[in-house]
Amino acid sequence: MVNEANARVQDPVYGCVGAISSLQHQLDGLRAQLALAQAEVAHLRMLPSPTTCAASVSPPSPNIFMHSDSQPQSIFDMDQPIYDDDSMWPR
């Protein structure tokens, strides 16, 4: 009951339920992020190693994955919800 009372001070409408819901949303986002990272690792493992195909294929250009601002970019887009510091809910 003390936890619920403290949660109601922070969020008078939802209390602990709001905190639990926020944590579930964060967990879902982290699971999706983990799945993307695992998919990227699997994709990179499927690429031929440089030593086995060096004679048959020329190496890719160093700028193949670079954008105009010269920042490296992952092959997967990892969009995440943005949370305000004062709120438990995504924008």
pLDDT at 43: 95
What is the predicted pLDDT for the residue at 42? Answer: 95
Domain with 19, as residue range(s), is 2-46
Q: Are 15 and 7 in contact (CB under 8 A)?
A: yes
Number of domains in the chain: 1
In a domain, 11, yes or no: yes
Structure confidence at residue 8 as a pLDDT band (50, 70, 90): confident
Domain assignment present for residue 70? The answer is no
Residue 53 lies in a domain: no
* Mean of per-residue pLDDT scores for the chain: 74
* pLDDT score recorded for residue 4: 85
Is 74 among the domain residues? no
Domain assignment present for residue 56? The answer is no
pTM passes above 0.85: no
- The answer to whether residue 37 sits within a structural domain is yes
Classify residue 24: in a domain, yes or no. yes
Residue 15's nearest CA partner among 26, 1, 25 is 1
Residue 71 lies in a domain: no
Instruction: State residue 48's pLDDT score.
Output: 87
